Amino acid sequence: MEEERRWHWWQRAVIYHIYPRSFADSNGDGVGDLEGIRRKLDYLTWLGIDAIWLSPIFRSPMADFGYDISDYLDVDPTFGTFEDLERLIADAHARGLKVILDFVPNHTSDQHPWFLESRSRRDHPRRRWYIWADPAPDGGPPNNWRSIFGGSAWEFDAATGQYYLHTFLKEQPDLNWRNPEVQAAMLDVLRFWFTRGVDGFRLDAIWFLIKDEELRDNPVNPEYTPDQPSYRELLPVYTSDRPEIHEILFRMRQVANAFGERVLIGEIYLPVGRLVTYYGCPHRRELHLPFNFALLLVPWEARRVGAAIDTYEALLSPDDWPNWVLSNHDRPRVATRVGEAQARVAAMLLFTLRGTPTIYYGDELGLSDVPIPPERRRDPLEQTIGPGAGRDSCRTPMPWDDSSGAGFTTGEPWLPLNPDYATRNVAVQRKDPRSMLSLYRELLILRRAEPVLVVGRYRPVPAPDDLLAFLREAAGRRLLVVLNFGGHERTFTTSRFTLRGQVLLSTSLDRAGEIIESGLVLRPNEGCIVALRE
């Protein structure tokens, strides 16, 4: 089909997000590694995904489990060796899978040689690689900026008498992206990995990259309520989403373009009207996929979800390609947020919307957040923000089977396993034709079989009560998706088109082939994909 050839791989792809510490441990130390991932490539191919994105695997003191990098050009021994990564990339490519790495440009580790030099003396040439400022007249921090991870965003360095900025932990000093030398060095990091076959990057915390040059105070948030983290007391007007970011993203895109078909995905939590500016202008393209977290944040009600989809779709220009996410390593898992029954509906939504879906490892098993006893909590946010603020619960090991380490490790897993791992694991669900895993796989098989699900237009269809309905349309093919967000049986009818066709897939995996002649009956918490007859 001529039309199909225009699509880039990252538009057609389903991305699978791996938290490497928790996916598969090959050496029994209780922490996942690259060789573990490599040994699971057959599983990923069987599941039907097209690309893996690995949370950071670079050298790191692990203050923030890899999001504090001390060498961008090497692999941390926790995860293996440089050769392990090369082998993983080669073996993934041999199976037709793309490999996306996680680039953390906003900050380095405080153990990065650049920062060690920067803090060594005020007149060191690297001083300007980070953001240093004199104390306020009272000796306190230079301004009121807050760290997202609690407290002031400034840390005093007694040896040189100045403060440095850290948007996250104090072990994660912010780079000064206004400095052309920083830009050049960091763009070289991208080139280094692109040359070694990496297919793209997820760019961490990208909307924080540039801060106000005059270090002006952030204004007070009039909507702040004391139940929110203290970071929310101020509006991050001068610390995020600054206009100069776009020039830098344009340069990153030029680097990516020079290597052919590569993808840049950005982590951005902003209102959708701001989010879409990160695609860039028609002639100055920036990110291929600014992550769209709408489904991760919206209250799970048919009306609210429908409005979030329609708002996003309406704001995209013809050049902008949509994308969707249900969970990640920073937020409660989808099964915890919406419940297991609705997690099946959410899966059907993820794979039938227009745009590139990203799966978070374990969601395909319906994995929930795992309660972690205080003594086993590892996330530093438990200390810096307070008990309960940690993100460990959504980062627990992947359960592969019912053996003592769940097939994840032969040792002691670094975080507890899900208590139901004996029954909720890959081996059990692979054998069960109605399992969540089977639903994910069937949805991915259907996406491959029905290009309309990938490239077709999206058209919302009015639906009553708890139902969400939309059409996907491309030349000669029309699929209707109807999702029941409620716990009651509902019947979908419409006057917009003739409702006649055949069920291709239902979330309960027992209705394929059913002929629909008028109304479509949805059981509680059920979704259906129907191929409409012309």
Residues that bind ligand NOJ (CB under 6 A): 64, 67, 104, 168, 204-205, 267, 329-330
Task: State residue 284 phi and psi, 5-degree precision.
Answer: -135, 80
Element spanning 522, H or E: strand 520-522
CB neighbour class for 162 (10 Å; exposed up to 12, middle 13-18, buried from 19): middle
Of 203 and 468, which CB lies nearer to ligand NOJ in the complex structure?
A: 203
To the nearest whole angstrom, how small is the minimum distance from the Cβ of residue 329 to ligand NOJ? 6
Closest by Cα among 530, 528, 356 to 455: 356
To the nearest whole angstrom, how small is the minimum distance from the Cβ of residue 463 to ligand NOJ? 35
Active site annotation includes 223: no
CA 344 to chain centre: 19
Task: State residue 314 phi and psi, 5-degree precision.
Answer: -70, -25
Of 26 and 167, which CB lies nearer to ligand NOJ in the complex structure?
A: 167
Annotated active-site residue in 25, 267, 442, 526: 267
Across-strand partners of 202?
Answer: 102, 265
Give Cα separations from 343 to 137, 141, 252, 347, 458 (angstroms).
54, 45, 36, 6, 22
Cα–Cα distance, 461 to 496 (Å, whole number): 8
Q: Tokens 């989010």 correspond to what residue?
A: 275
To the nearest whole angstrom, how small is the minimum distance from the Cβ of residue 262 to ligand NOJ? 21
Q: Tokens 């997000």 correspond to what residue?
A: 17
Closest by Cα among 56, 24, 57 to 39: 24
Of 204 and 369, which CB lies nearer to ligand NOJ in the complex structure?
A: 204
To the nearest whole angstrom, how small is the minimum distance from the Cβ of residue 43 to ligand NOJ? 24
Of 106 and 277, which CB lies nearer to ligand NOJ in the complex structure?
A: 106
- Sequence letter at residue 421: Y
Of 372 and 455, which CB lies nearer to ligand NOJ in the complex structure?
A: 372
To the nearest whole angstrom, how small is the minimum distance from the Cβ of residue 93 to ligand NOJ? 26
To the nearest whole angstrom, how small is the minimum distance from the Cβ of residue 502 to ligand NOJ? 42
Task: State residue 52 phi and psi, 5-degree precision.
Answer: -110, 140
Of 333 and 478, which CB lies nearer to ligand NOJ in the complex structure?
A: 333
Of 11 and 172, which CB lies nearer to ligand NOJ in the complex structure?
A: 172
**How many other CB atoms sit within 10 Å of the CB of residue 462?**
10
Cα–Cα distance, 120 to 41 (Å, whole number): 45
Cα–Cα distance, 30 to 404 (Å, whole number): 12
**Using CA of residue 101, residue 68, residue 133, residue 143, what is the dihedral sign?**
positive
Active site annotation includes 267: yes
Please, are residues 167 and 239 in contact by the beta-carbon 8 Å criterion?
yes
Annotated active-site residue in 174, 199, 204, 364: 204
To the nearest whole angstrom, how small is the minimum distance from the Cβ of residue 21 to ligand NOJ? 12
Positions annotated as catalytic residues are 204, 267
